[in-house]
Amino acid sequence: MTRSFRGARRLVLRSIVASVGLVFAAGAQAADPIKIGLVTALSGQSAKAGEAITRGLTIAIEEINAKGGLLGGRKLELVRRDDEAVPAKGQVAARELIFKEKVAVLFGGLDTPVSLAIVPIANSEKVPFMGPWAAGTGITRNGANPNFVFRVSAVDEIVDKAMLQYAQATHKTKKPGVIVVNNPWGESNQKGLAAAMQAKGVTAAGVEKFEANDVDVTPHLSRLKAAGADTLLMVGNVGPSAQVVKSLDRMGWKVPIVSHWGPAGGRFTELAGPSAKEVVFVQTYSFFGKLSPVGQRVLDALKKKYPDIKGPGDVTPAVGVANAYDAMHLAAIAIEKAGGTGGDAIRQGFYKIDKYEGLIKTYAKPFTPANHDALNENDYVWTRFIGDSILPVEVASAK
């Protein structure tokens, strides 16, 4: 065998090995999962809501993966972190998911203060941040350009208009008393309620702020009662809202309560006691009544995967499941539109979504550069607790 022949054979072998290596590398890359991050409260008073968001994401991810995944066969993988409802811990969790886990899309859970703390990180690192719960207006309307923050959830200033309209239509409210938790979420709603009342020519009996750890808000409520409040417009998460209800019981003041959706987030009936059922609050979805094909499919999947879910009343809070489910599917469409997992490409992919038949509604061009909120005032449902179940008001009234 000549030296030239042996050299040529070695070159051919090297070429074959290199080619095979490239094929295996490409296959490995295609098989790499696309990580989806979630920062939310997984412990404490709002853990139920964090679990609901997890379940909505999980059902959506399992559907997507069962159909072959995204981007030519890459499966989705959910990676969670507990923020304990603390903004600083939310920031640490977000950075870990972005820098260590390399998530393609970051979902942010419950609390407006936590979400507001994460927003600058998402915009700075150019990672799409999707909100399935926190309703603070400034989360999506944050002034960034480009803006990487999107939401499938309520928006405070729209909910505030709906709260006043419901109070006027149902209770003939003329002089509402406003009671809000003293944090950025409360501030967002205080502004929204003031604007809603100004637009309707309504003057508040008063505005009271209370701390999230207050165990008695009787002084605040006494001032509102003395000022002639005929309805309470309430904003607070599970624990604070429960303290308002218990303080009303101590006072013996029976006044209608129209609330943002804070009570839905966890152990409200346990903490508020028997009068929890008197609070009417907003939601974006209910599994009660005649369901769409998507709704029935999701409910069936929930019952199959989670033994504690026997029927619609066990999906609590339904809003966490529904918002997260739709948000995950919309994010998946954005990733496909992007053709990859680059943050800016996914951001632009959200604008390219044409139509998606979701759980809450059929979305038609849900996001534009000027609007990063997929839901509006037509997507709200009024509910109350019956036992531990959240039911639409008309269903609850029939019980």
| Domain positions in the chain | 32-154+289-377, 157-283
Q: Measured between alpha carbons, how far is 266 from 270 in angstroms, rounded to an integer? A: 9
**Is it true that 32-154+289-377 and 157-283 share their CATH fold?**
yes
CA distance 156 to 154: 6
C-alpha distances out from residue 387 to 102, 208, 277, 341, 395, Å: 42, 29, 8, 44, 13
State the Cα–Cα distance between residues 127 and 162, nearest whole angstrom.
Answer: 32
What number is the average pLDDT over the span 289-302?
96
**pLDDT at residue 94 is higher than 70:** yes
Q: CB–CB of 294/302 below 8 Å?
A: no
Please tell me the distance from the alpha carbon of residue 221 to that of residue 224, in angstroms, as a whole number.
5
**Cis previous bond, 369, omega within 30:** no
DSSP per-residue string spanning 292-359: PHHHHHHHHHHHHH-TT--SGGGSTTHHHHHHHHHHHHHHHHHHHHHTS--HHHHHHHHHT--EEE-S
CATH code for the domain defined by 157-283: 3.40.50.2300
pLDDT at 20: 41
Among 27-36, 68-77, 123-132, 383-392, where is mean pLDDT lowest? 27-36
| Per-residue tokens: 1 | 């065998």
Q: Which two tokens stand for residue 19?
A: 């080619």
Mean predicted confidence (pLDDT) in 283-292: 92
Among 117, 202, 198, 138, which Cα is nearest to 168's? 202
Average pLDDT over residues 12-28: 44
CA angle 149/153/156 to nearest 5° reads: 90
| pLDDT over threshold 80, residue 165 | yes
Averaged pLDDT of the chain? 91
At residue 399 the predicted structure's pLDDT band, cuts being 50, 70 and 90, is low
The pLDDT score that the predictor gives to residue 146 is 97
Pair 145, 166: CB distance under 8 Å: no
Locate all alpha helices (DSSP H) within the chain, ordered by sequence. Answer: 3-31, 47-66, 87-95, 112-125, 137-140, 156-171, 184-200, 218-226, 238-251, 268-272, 293-305, 318-338, 343-351, 393-397
Q: In this predicted model, what pLDDT tens digit does every residue of 67-91 receive, in sequence order?
A: 999 999 999 999 999 999 999 999 9
Q: Tell me the pTM.
A: 0.83
Integer angstrom CA distances of residue 303 from 307, 312, 394: 6, 9, 24
Q: Are 135 and 112 in contact (CB under 8 A)?
A: yes
What confidence score (pLDDT) does residue 357 get? 98
Query: Hey, what CATH topology would domain 32-154+289-377 get?
Result: Rossmann fold (3.40.50)
What is d(CA 396, CA 379) in angstroms, rounded to the nearest whole number?
Answer: 19
For 184-220, the pLDDT digits (tens) are: 999 999 999 999 999 999 999 999 999 988 989 999 9
Percentage of the chain lying above the pLDDT 70 cut:
91
CA angle 180, 155, 92 (to 5 degrees): 80
pLDDT greater than 90 at residue 109: no
Residue with tokens 């709200």: 380
Strand partners, 82: 40
Find out whether 332 and 64 touch, Cβ atoms under 8 Å.
yes
Q: Which of 18-27, 96-105, 135-144, 325-334 has the lowest mean pLDDT?
A: 18-27
